[in-house]
Amino acid sequence: MELSQILDPVYLGKLFDLLFPAIGETLYMVVASTLLAYILGLPLGIFLVVSAPEHIMPNPWVEKTLGTVINILRSAPFIILMVALIPVTRAMVGTSIGTTAAIFPLVISTAPFVARIIETSLKEVPHGVIEAAMSMGASPWQIITKVLLPEAKPSLVLGIAITTISVIGYTAMAGTVGGGGLGDLAIQYGYNRFRTDIMLITIVVLVIIVQGVQSLGTSMAQKVSRS
């Protein structure tokens, strides 16, 4: 497509009519999925850490069971997991197509990733700090909320940015099976109709969103580390 055609007001108007709703759908899926994934993944990650040997609540059975379940879920490619969960998604949401329906498999796929991110962040806390809290009579709950999580804040903030970026990629894949958003726009209006311009514009928008999320996460992590 020539530049004059791209700059044509009628063309731009039609493009924006498609692009803006798709961006809104993508942001809706990303925010909702990331939030729900952290609600599930945060406690899982904490249990993985505190149930490890020589930690504050050692329980090898819990650690091994959680680790196995998380590894199984993480090993399934998102697109396959999304298709496999269609009956469950339809039963819970009432449909397997659309942005709201895509959130369920997004959460199931992202929560194990979040758990590992949390685990990695909390394991960076020096064990000496934990031992000092234990020697002062702190309970496991106090150690988790007053020591582990505050000490790991910069890493946890960066983990949120990494998770959000991963979810953005998942939402693009969700578009291939009717999940809506920018992925659906690229497939339905770009690939299927041989509109390279729409595909390229979609990629540019996704790159901008990812760069914005990464920059915001890095900035917030630096502020938290200085506080």
At 117 the pLDDT is 94
Report how many domains make up the chain.
Answer: 1
Which region, left, alpha or beta, applies to residue 37 given φ > 0 means left and ψ of -120 to 50 means alpha?
A: alpha
Q: What sign does the dihedral 53-57-62-63 (CA atoms) show?
A: negative
What domain range includes position 25? 3-226
- Residue 94 CA to residue 87 CA, distance in Å, equals 10
pTM, to two decimals: 0.88
At 10 the pLDDT is 59
The residue with tokens 């504050």 is 56
Among 99, 78, 87, 86, which Cα is nearest to 184's?
99
The pLDDT tens digits along the chain (227 residues) read 444 455 556 566 777 788 889 999 999 999 999 999 999 999 999 999 999 888 889 898 988 999 999 999 888 888 888 888 888 888 888 887 888 888 999 999 999 999 999 999 999 998 889 989 888 888 989 999 999 999 999 999 999 999 999 999 998 888 777 778 888 888 888 778 777 888 888 889 999 999 999 999 999 988 887 76
What CATH code is carried by the domain that includes residue 99?
1.10.3720.10
